[in-house]
Amino acid sequence: MSIKKQYLKNKSVCKVHFRLSRKDARDAKRIFLLVNSTTGVKRKRL
């Protein structure tokens, strides 16, 4: 799995993109990304 972070200059926002190979996903119907955050970060589904 690869993860790419992009911090936006004009906002306090970080966009995160992740890729999972077909081999790693196999027959998965759902994939979860767990985030350990104590700052109350808001996340939205795209």
> pLDDT tens digit string along 7-26?
888 877 788 888 888 888 88
Check residue 24 and give its pLDDT: 83
Whether pLDDT at 2 is above 80: yes
Can you tell me whether residue 13 is helix, strand or coil? coil
Residue bearing the bigger pLDDT, 17 or 42: 17
CA distances to 14, 21, 37 from 40, rounded to whole Å, are 14, 30, 7
- Nearest residue to 17 via CA among 34, 6, 4: 4
Sign of CA dihedral 17, 23, 25, 27: positive
Beta-bridged to residue 35, according to DSSP, are none
